[in-house]
Chains A and B, each alone.
Chain A
Amino acid sequence: MSPASTSAYLVLSDGTVYRGEAFGARGEGEGEVVFHTAMTGYQEILTDPSYAGQIVCMTYPEIGNVGTNPQDEESCGIFLRGFVVREHVDFPSSWRSRESLQAYLERHHIPGISEIDTRALVRRIRTQGAMNGVLVHGEASQEELVARARALPSMAGRNLVDEVTCREPYRWDQGRDWAPDPAPMPRYHVVAYDFGVKRNILRNLVNAGFEVTVVPAHTSAEEVLALQPDGIFLSNGPGDPAAVEYAIPNVRKLVGKRPLFGICLGHQILGLALGGRTKKLRFGHHGANQPAQDQATGRVLIVSENHGFALDADSLASNSELEITHINLNDRTVEGLRHRRLPLFSVQYHPEASPGPHDAAHLFSRFRKLIEGQRAQA
């Protein structure tokens, strides 16, 4: 909005050029352009490692209203490559705000573009599918930008987990800020594979009564079992699940050994480990209003989702021991999985929310119950 604003461009691989105003850190970003339909929670989205390699466009036009604060960070940084909004608000109002969005993006070296017709962009992605794009500040040759966008690698086949996973194992013991009930006792030990884990998952595990050890994505099954976990958690993360080649055999080895719970990419990797296939969705699900229906009860949960790939239902059908527990009512894609015999389940959506509704928060307790059930049998 300031008169001294610099122009910025977002250029898509199909040749579409959006000219807007620069905000955030001066610079440029390249990646797959996706849109997110949540009206709140831009800070959580910015700091969710699952957006590594992507440029994210918010469909809600006023972004920056509530600034940023230390409690709402989902990781130690920002892994997305560019941020696209209709209206960048540089005057936050919130009793928790410590830093404006502008300052926050600058500090994390993330470029943004505002004042473009974001709805037109969303409609393009919806009709043409997610595609690569380049976001630059300042003047640049549009042909060159289009060429650069076209040259970018497709998201399919990309392992981005390596960019975001932790280097060393660590313990996590912090719970949610607003937890109505004390964590149950006794505490169980869960080892969480970090494919790009969101902190709110770890917080929810703590609140469900877990001691949490987070391990890097490469950690072998043997190393995990050596930690003597009561359960193993497979986290969310960025990119193509099929490309995280080392994780699939690791998980396969863990199936049946300990109770398993997977979220998002973790759910996809679990599905792959169980013999399923994943497919790339046209433009994915990125929002906080998705209807996931529990196939057993018919109940609909309003959930947060963020994925460009999904398990192919047909590929799971051949294994009669697998059960699709949830589907997305919008496009009937797979949203949840369980094994009829072995102690494992996973969901495509985000029960930890952040941003989004808490409708599925009980899944963390369900994981705990699964472990308790196993121990009772043993």
Chain B
Amino acid sequence: MPRREDLHKVLIIGSGPIVIGQACEFDYSGTQACKALREEDIEVVLVNSNPATIMTDPGFASRTYIEPLRLETLKRILERERPDAVLPTVGGQTALNLAVALAESGTLDRLGIELIGAKLGPIQIAEDRLRFREAMRGIGLELPRSTYVRGLAEGGAALAEIGLPAIIRPSFTLGGSGGSLAESESQFHELLEWGLRQSPRGEALVEESVLGWKEFELEVMRDRADNVVIICSIENFDPMGVHTGDSITVAPVQTLTDKEYQRMRDAAIGVIRKVGVDTGGSNIQFAVHPDTGKMIVIEMNPRVSRSSALASKATGFPIAKIAAKLAIGYTLDEIPNDITRETPASFEPTIDYVVTKIPRFAFEKFPGADSRLGIQMKSVGEIMSIGRTFRESLQKGMRSLEIDRYGFDASSLSDAQLREQLREPGPERLWRIGDAFRRGWTLEEIHAQSRVDPWFLNQIRELIREDEAFDATSDLRRAKRNGFSDRRLAELCQVTEDEIRRRRLEQGIVPVFKRVDTCGAEFKAHTPYLYSTYEQECEAHPSDRPKIVILGGGPNRIGQGIEFDYCCVHAVMGLRQDGYETIMINCNPETVSTDYDTADRLYFEPLTLEDVLAVVECEQPLGVIVQFGGQTPLRLAAALERAGVSILGTSPDAIDRAEDRERFADLIVKLGLRQPKNGTARNVGAAHKLAQRIGYPVVVRPSYVLGGRAMQIVHGPDALEVYMREAVAVSPEHPVLVDRFLADAIEVDVDAICDGRVVVIGGIMEHIEEAGVHSGDSACSLPPYSLPRYTIEEIRRVTRMLALELGVRGLMNVQFAVARDQVNVLEVNPRASRTIPFVSKAIGQPLAQFAARVMAGKSLAELGFTAESEPDHISVKEAVFPFVKFPGVDTLLGPEMKSTGEVMGIDREFGRAYAKAQSAAGMGLPDSGAVLVSTRDEDKARIVEPVRALAELGFRILATQGTARYLSERGIRTETVHKVSEGPRNTAELLTRGEVDLVIVTTRTGDPEAVQHSMAMRRAALEHSVPYFTTVAGARAAAAAIRAQRAGDIEPIALQDLYPT
């Protein structure tokens, strides 16, 4: 059946900011969908609040709305754009939920707009556990026993019916958020209460636990002619009980016979037909009892998912792209397989390698968070690795994680701790299994504790045997075939990595590159999507074109995420315009950069020196670009250069000059600039002396970090003492930096581009939160909304001086602190920053593309980009945090970055733009109601103005005692409420009862007691979804935004209306 002729304009809903459970996989799928529809001359309208995505580049849709993913906003966009259909299946759970809301509110019917990809009925069946269970029963499939609970009162009956252990899952949440396991009765009631709160509908499912069963996933696609294919089968290394997003997973399935696999395949086909998804893809999860083979269905996602992104990368079959084509009416047999070209998409990929996905966690960012894994997802990113055997694939994956581990290194845990960590999996369980084998524990014992399938355990056992026995006389080729890194082998032989490398090359042991081709080599592959392995035949077949390697960013983590992938993709786009062949190396399966369609050639490889050098040796590029992938490639720059690789753009020496604080201080002096007093300490004693000289408070941090890892503001010698012990442990090779902390300063971020002669400012961003909050966590405004003109001029002047002095070729980010009208330079990063995509969207210029082309030799004059753009609209960026996933963790912001994602609000005026950004971040501001205020003494004077503004807008003002008195004395009518420690009618209670609509709470961050006291209030605000502000500046901006939204409806704006594309 050819495509439908009645669809001319389709609206695609994106997934919004990166949060745990919804990351850049939906930029990958959304971007593919945009491309697939535009290929068909369909006009695409896109809505997504996340500016760091490729899909929101104005070139990918006809109309691009970077607007809040809220029902009201969507309605207005639909009313204005009048698309023929909405495609809700490529934007994760967010898009699906919005589509359901649009349909249920009658908007779609009223406007005559159709849902394509998945209709309302199938979505409802798949999402509603009860209806899903009924549907499954109808086709003879079982689910775990379960029952719905719609209030605490129904808890007892549910417990009696299901028994313990039981799983409690709130309805309609993403990433299994709020789901938890109850093993005792009291725990059951406690978790049920929490679960009901998490659900937007106050509803939770209580379910029989199938902990320890084998877990599988199938990626299924179906077209409107009812052709169904399985794209990929995935087996979870971690059995049932660990969220699949937090599990190590392997493709294809390893421990099912064909009979069992086909039964599962039949079931999956039955499920997709019964639920009724008829033009798209679904992910279906199964659990299998390890001893009896009993199979049950766990769930079905009627949309593309994180797993489908993984499956696409694992097989070379682009699920989202094909799903988009199916949604507009094509059938699978009408769509060609891009890789083989001669065969159609109506087949099932077969692979001749093993794919491993390993999640990346960030518990170090959230002290106090429970790091045990369960059915609520906690990982922030993932890597994928490809090897010819499971062992090779696993070990390549371990070194891809970028946690400075290159193999199964041993731990010094006690046996008891080890046993506990086997039983209650944490982020390091894989290594714990290795430890257990190393200590001679039996496979049976380890299986009994971990429930990991013996097949996987045996593979690890073999690796540990080899690891333990390896020495200078061992078979190096065999070790390489089993995935051992040079670095690990060097540790085992107690020699340098270079030495192992030298021996390896001497013996002619080098990797070859094989292709991912969907078909196990049955047909010729036309797409250079490659992975390394130690075999005989190499299929890389490098071209003799001039080529450039771009190093990607590796796994998403806090501080390094989609923004850098955006830059890498733009580097490809830019270099391609200048005729270069582009070669991408990356190991993050969620990304657009690892779409084989992005760069000319894709090497799906770990970003380690060894693996990058192997590609470089094979390809012989003109050079390598390390500027765009964040800290990961930067860390490799010096070693790559030493190995004779040409690093394009700003020289590694210039990078070092900016990053090394001693050299940087010299630079500042030379240019006559200002920076906060600072110094470098290599031991505890020196740190104390230094802090004394500089004067408290000081900011302390290890050198060479991204995302403010281990950065703290320290207010006195005792706190410094504690910090030094921890910090030195964090980074033993690097000293600790101590800077004077400029309290109450305004921070400013500048992104600029330089070709060595000309410097062009990309954007100047004024932070909303004052100094002390990490720039990645702070909201900001472009252009600055409060700085005087002369300060902005000074910032421009300093930026230009720095870029020219450092000889920057490409991008540069400078952070300033403006205090008492003086411009201080905090740091300079001669590379792509996290804000590049935001700035690019705000000014309508592809900065990363320009930068890549400059690095390859073009001048800014040649690119026609010689003057700073000064847009007449305001863009506000706001950060999005994962606190809700980590019960008991404080939401207070500080110099260590904690946000996972960002949103953007664009409008003609600051208040409106800020209101949009808040709404997009899930903190939609109220128009009226009650404000709860509690501030530290230092802030009291400055809080008066915003609180007075709110009072004038008709808000009731509630405040804790000290604050209330201060406000009342200044003529603001204020009601006094208790602090949490002061008994009933306290702040947390009011929040719980829904009597508060907005919270302003600031705390002395240097005072642990004060922080502790106010934490309950912050958590309560978070858990009850009440917008809260922990800084005066934030409160001020909120007041401005509320005034703006009260002044009139805030209209969505398409990027294409702001600047010509």
Contact = CB atoms under 8 A, between A and B. Distances in A.
Q: Do A and B bind each other?
A: yes
Interface of A: 1, 35, 37-41, 43-44, 59-62, 65-66, 69, 71-72, 86-87, 89, 91-96, 116-120, 122-123, 126, 177-178, 180, 287-291, 293, 298-300, 302, 329-330, 353-358
Interface stretch (B347-355, B904-912, B916-924): B347-355
Given A120-B535, A120-B537, A62 B257 contact: no
A370 B441 CA distance: 62
Q: Is the interface of A mostly helix, strand, loop or mixed?
A: loop
Nearest to B332: A300
Nearest to A1: B462
Given A61-B354, A95-B291, A291-B347, A300 B227 contact: yes
B519 to A, nearest CB: 7
Contacts of A69: 257
B89 to A, nearest CB: 22
B1024 to A, nearest CB: 47
B290 interface: yes
A40, A91, A177 — most chain B CB neighbours (10 Å): A40
Nearest to B453: A93
Closest 4 CB pairs of A and B: A41-B258, A93-B455, A120-B537, A59-B520
B4 to A, nearest CB: 16
Contacts of A357: 262, 265, 348
B255 interface: yes
Given A291-B344, A329-B333, A299 B352 contact: no
Given A91-B455, A95-B291, A62 B389 contact: yes
A289 B257 contact: no
A302 B229 contact: yes
Nearest to A68: B257
Contacts of A62: 254, 354, 389-390
Contacts of B535: 117, 119-120
A155 to B, nearest CB: 19
Contacts of A1: 462
A96 B354 CA distance: 23
Interface string B614-630: 00000000000000000
B662 to A, nearest CB: 51
B262 A119 contact: no
26 contacts: A39-B351, A40-B252, A60-B252, A61-B352, A61-B389, A62-B390, A66-B256, A87-B388, A91-B454, A92-B455, A96-B257, A117-B536, A119-B352, A119-B514, A122-B352, A123-B521, A126-B524, A180-B140, A291-B333, A293-B333, A298-B1, A300-B333, A302-B229, A329-B347, A356-B262, A357-B262
Interface of B: 1, 140, 225-227, 229-230, 233, 252-259, 261-263, 265-266, 290-293, 331-333, 342-344, 346-354, 388-390, 453-455, 458, 462, 514, 519-524, 535-537, 539
B258 A44 contact: yes
Contacts of B352: 37, 59-61, 86, 118-119, 122
Nearest to A116: B536
Nearest to B223: A300
A371 B225 CA distance: 29
A94 B462 CA distance: 19
Contacts of A330: 342-344, 347, 523
A353 B260 CA distance: 13
A346 to B, nearest CB: 22
A76 to B, nearest CB: 19
B356 to A, nearest CB: 12
Contacts of A72: 257-259
A38 B351 CA distance: 9
Contacts of A287: 350, 520, 522
Nearest to A122: B521
A116 B256 CA distance: 24
Contacts of B349: 289
A66 B257 contact: yes
Given A60-B351, A289-B350, 10 more contacts: A35-B521, A61-B389, A91-B455, A117-B536, A123-B521, A126-B524, A289-B347, A291-B343, A329-B347, A330-B343
Contacts of B253: 39-40
Contact of B454 (A38, A93, A122): A93
A95 B292 CA distance: 7
A194 B897 CA distance: 71
Contacts of B458: 91, 93
A299 B226 contact: yes
Contact of A289 (B254, B266, B348): B348
Nearest to B525: A123
A59 B353 CA distance: 9
Contacts of B388: 61, 86-87, 119
Contacts of B263: 178
A38 B333 CA distance: 21
Contacts of B524: 126
A287 B343 CA distance: 15
A94, A122, A290 — most chain B CB neighbours (10 Å): A94
B225 A298 contact: yes
Contact of B346 (A93, A122, A329, A358): A329
B252 A37 contact: no
A315 B343 CA distance: 24
A166 B88 CA distance: 58
Contacts of A40: 252-253, 256-258, 261-262
A330 B453 CA distance: 37
B350 A37 contact: yes
A38 B53 CA distance: 38
Given A118-B352, A122-B522, A123-B521, A71 B259 contact: yes
B158 to A, nearest CB: 32
Contacts of A60: 252, 350-352, 520
Contacts of A116: 536
Nearest to B389: A87
A177 B258 CA distance: 13
A344 to B, nearest CB: 27
A75 to B, nearest CB: 16
A65 B344 CA distance: 31
Nearest to A330: B343
B429 to A, nearest CB: 19
B262 A65 contact: no
A46 B857 CA distance: 59
A19 to B, nearest CB: 10
